[in-house]
Structures are given as C-alpha cells and as structure tokens.
Amino acid sequence: MEILKLLEDMTQIYAPSGEETEIREYIEKYAKDCCDEVYTDNMGNLIAHKKGNGKKIMFAAHMDEIGVIVTDIDEKGLIHFDRIGGLNLRNLVNLRVRFKNGTEGVIGSKEEAFRDKPSYDKLYIDIGANAADNVSVGDTAVFVGGFTVQQGTVISKTLDNRAGCALLMYAMAEIEEAENDLYFVFTTQEEVGLRGAKTAAFSIEPDIAIAVDVTDTGDLPDVPKMAVTMGKGTAIKVMDHSIICDADVRAKLTETAKAHNIPYQLEIMTDGGTDAGAIHLTRAGVKTGGISIPTRYIHSISEMASVSDIENSAKLLTEAAKINW
C-alpha cells in the first residue's frame, strides 16, 4: 500500500469534526478488503476488526480536522464564524476556506481592531457574493491547502491526523493473519474533545490501546524545547497534556522498535493531547500508549513531516500489532 498516495487523497477530503462521513466512506472501502468485520458506531467511528485469539488491541486514529462554523450572516453578506478545534487566531487572516457544497471564501478582518485585540468577532468570511444565497448558519468549512512532497518531506493541510489514519490502513493491509484480536478504530470529534475515542473504547473494552497521531517537534527556533526532531524517527509517547502513558506499553513499543531496527524518539508533549487521553480513562482504565509522527506547524495549512518518519511509524505500528502483549 502506498502511504503517500493515501495521504494525498485523504488530506483533501472534507471532514471537520462532526462531519466525518466522506473520509469514513473512503477508509471503509480499504478496510472491507482486509478485515473480518467493519462497522460504524453511533458516534460515527469506523471500526475495522481483524479477529484473533490473543489480547484485544485497539489502535485509534482520528479522522476529523479543524475548521470553522457559521454563527451569523450580516446585512452585507459577510459570514461570521467560530472555531472547530484549536486554531491560531492570528494566523487566520487571508486564509481560504471551503464549505461542504464547494463554496470557497477568504477570511478577512477589521484590520486595526483585530491588530489591537484579536478576536473572532473581528473576523469574517467573504465569498465575493451574498453569503445567504450559498451558506446557512450552522454550516461548516475547512481550510484550503495543497499537498507537496519534496526532498523526503511532505507539506500539506490535515496531516493531523490523516497521516495517522494512513498508518492504520497500512498496518491492517500488511497483517495477513493476526494472533492478537485487533481493532483499528478511526475516531470522530477528536479535535473538539476526544469524543469518538471515548465511546469506542467503552464499547470495545480493549486490553491494550495505542493512539496514533502527530506530535510537535522541538527543532525550530523559538519553539518550546522538546526532544523530538523531524526526520529522526517515529515518536513513542511518554506523556502529553492528556495522559501519562502506561510504562509497560511504552517499554514494549521501545523494545519492538529496537528489535526491528526502527529509528525512534521518546515524546513528551506538554501542550495538547490525543485520543489516548480519553481511552485510558474508559471503564476501569485501559493500558494505553501512543505512536506519533513528528510534525511541524500543526493546525495550519502547511503541516510538515518527514516521509521516513511516516514510514517508520507505519513499521512500528505493524510490528506492535503482532507482538505478544
């Protein structure tokens, strides 16, 4: 399976939090060819089950992306909005957005007032026409951005977390026969509170869970110090803002990486979290860890990751599914 081709396709599919239908349908076509059971739960999570007699292992990667939601359309035909997920307010001006029906617009600002005190009520979306004829209150939009591969690096919108989804798809296609009982879960509404992962884990009741997502790096000027560098290997999560990972799971992932000569780094991300945060608190608790792809400029239209890090993360995930937990 060609991971980069999957990524190029998936990064361009419209799927803000709560509207993951299109990306779920895309993934489902692949899952049906390589899993024993594929179904969608009430939260919209796609669950692909590869049956085995060993431990019940849940791998989770979220399908949703950040975006905006229409809160009002004024008398001038300009669209006022609020955020879906974590956005950098100061970086929104002049970005393009696309609504589900294909309508595109540009984010403008009340410039002087926005510079003095940035806030969402000083921003608007301009579609160059009367917005009321094209969109309605409650409609959502995602950011517009291309997909580029150059010199071993991927630059694209929505690597968070279509890259994680691609890793799960790669692993479930590579594993022909599993000893463990494997659940590949493509979750919803992670960007607004880890919601899909919580209900999926409650239903599946896994013995072990591994969340697959992107992580920040510490290899740029003026960013918080962090021992993760793009291009130096997959990242095995130790801790983020939502979880301190299970020590046994972390050790197993580290041992597996060493045994298969997979370059790895240890990740401590002090700001932000992943589906792991919700999963490990489900029912009586779940032994949970994380595999992360080092990524620069997260939550922008120009997220950047190393092709080798993506590939090594895919290898570790695949081997982790096979080990005796």
Catalytic residue among 190, 191, 267, 319: 190
- Contact assessment for residue 107 and residue 92, using Cβ atoms and an 8 Å cutoff: yes
**Cα 38 to Cα 292: distance, rounded to the nearest angstrom:** 25
**Cα 87 to Cα 191: distance, rounded to the nearest angstrom:** 10
Long-range CB contacts (within 8 A, 24+) of 106-109: 108/78
φ/ψ of residue 196, rounded to 5: -65, -40
List strand residue ranges (DSSP E) for the chain, in order: 37-40, 46-50, 56-62, 67-73, 79-84, 96-99, 104-109, 123-126, 140-143, 147-150, 153-156, 181-187, 208-215, 234-240, 243-244, 264-268, 287-296, 303-306
**Cα 107 to Cα 113: distance, rounded to the nearest angstrom:** 15
Across the chain, which distance is largest between two alpha carbons, in Å? 64
Q: Which residues of 128-160 are buried (b: 16+ CB within 10 A; e: fewer)?
A: eeebeebbeeebbbbbebebeeeeebbbbbbbb
Is 177 designated active site? no
Q: Does residue 161 have a cis peptide bond before it, meaning omega lies within 30 degrees of 0?
A: yes
**Cα 55 to Cα 59: distance, rounded to the nearest angstrom:** 13
Q: What DSSP character marks residue 90?
A: G
- Enumerate the active-site residues: 190
